[in-house]
């Protein structure tokens, strides 16, 4: 094992992922961390990979574990912030690539693998990367189901939530029943839900989840 000192430093550095919280528009006590998300995503992907043909399941799980690693430094930049124009996808990509490149340069023994997995997810051109993208979005919706909190009370974010996983799941029809079930539950949860004493989401009622 090479570069043990740098490897331990790296493992300490990515501890920050455990305290990098997602969903900037949700109450703090229902936000999960990027580490929580990556673990759950990898777990779900490994459990369901038997449903999907034509992918290297081990590679897909590796991608899931690495895809948000840069957030240990950059923090989470969620889709709603991009939708609002606070930051562009290109700026987000550039920030995260700088972090992953620094890992690659500091510890080449593992950094090359990490960078390649991260870039594969970003490029989204392999079946494994596209599967990871589909599961990434499904996991995010499942978290919202778990905390019974869907979105801020504006139609823009509600629309984002309702259509969030549609395109990514199209390539994997085996996952469609799972997404349909999640959407149905989200729609039910939007009816007169109260969180911390106040209504959470009413605008989802205006959206047709299932075609």
pLDDT at position 173 is 94
Does the global pTM surpass 0.85? no
Q: How many CB atoms lie within 10 A of CB 181?
A: 12
pLDDT at position 149 is 62
> Crossing angle, helix 89-106 and helix 4-13, to 10 degrees?
150
21: three-class secondary structure by DSSP: strand
Is residue 158 exposed (0-12), middle (13-18) or buried (19+ Cβ within 10 Å)? Answer: buried
70 within some domain? yes
pLDDT higher than 80, residue 161: no
Q: Using CA atoms in the order 202, 44, 114, 128, what is the torsion angle rounded to 10 degrees?
A: -100
CATH of the domain at 122: 1.10.3210.10
The radius of gyration of the chain from alpha carbons, rounded to an integer in Å, stands at: 18
DSSP run (H or E) holding 195: strand 194-195
Range of lowest pLDDT (28-32, 142-146, 160-164, 189-193) = 189-193
pLDDT band at 16 (very low <50, low <70, confident <90, very high): very high
Q: How many CB atoms lie within 10 A of CB 148?
A: 15
| Domains of the chain: total | 1
Q: Give strand pairing partners of 195.
A: 198
What are the start-end ranges of the H helices in the chain? 4-13, 34-48, 57-66, 71-74, 79-83, 89-106, 108-123, 127-147, 155-163, 166-170, 176-189
Q: Please give the residue range of the domain that contains residue 135.
A: 4-206
Task: Give residues with Cβ within 8 angstroms of 143, minimum separation 6.
Answer: 23, 32, 37, 40
The span from the CA of 211 to the CA of 207, in Å, is 11
190 within some domain? yes
pLDDT at position 31 is 83
pLDDT at position 202 is 35
pLDDT at position 205 is 31
pLDDT at position 77 is 80
The span from the CA of 189 to the CA of 194, in Å, is 10
57 within some domain? yes
**Mean pLDDT computed over every residue of the chain:** 82
pLDDT band at 64 (very low <50, low <70, confident <90, very high): very high
The span from the CA of 135 to the CA of 156, in Å, is 23
211 within some domain? no
């Amino acid at each position: 094992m090479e570069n043990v000192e740098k490897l331990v430093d790296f493992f300490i550095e990515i501890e920050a992922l455990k305290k990098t919280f997602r969903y900037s528009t949700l109450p703090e006590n229902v936000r999960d961390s990027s580490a929580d998300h990556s673990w759950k995503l990898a777990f779900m992907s490994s459990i369901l990979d038997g449903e999907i043909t034509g992918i290297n399941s081990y590679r897909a799980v590796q991608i899931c574990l690495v895809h948000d690693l840069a957030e240990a430094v950059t923090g989470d930049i969620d889709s709603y912030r991009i939708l609002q124009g606070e930051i562009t996808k290109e700026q987000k990509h550039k920030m995260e690539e700088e972090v992953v490149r620094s890992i690659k340069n500091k510890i080449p023994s593992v950094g090359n693998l990490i960078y390649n997995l991260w870039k594969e997810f970003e490029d989204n051109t392999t079946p494994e990367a596209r599967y990871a993208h589909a599961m990434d979005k499904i996991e995010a919706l499942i978290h919202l189901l778990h905390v019974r909190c869907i979105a801020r009370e504006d139609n823009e974010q509600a629309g984002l939530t309702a259509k969030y996983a549609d395109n990514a799941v199209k390539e994997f029809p085996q996952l469609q029943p799972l997404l349909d079930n999640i959407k149905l539950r989200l729609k039910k949860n939007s009816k007169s839900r109260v969180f911390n004493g106040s209504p959470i989401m009413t605008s989802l009622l205006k959206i047709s989840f299932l075609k």
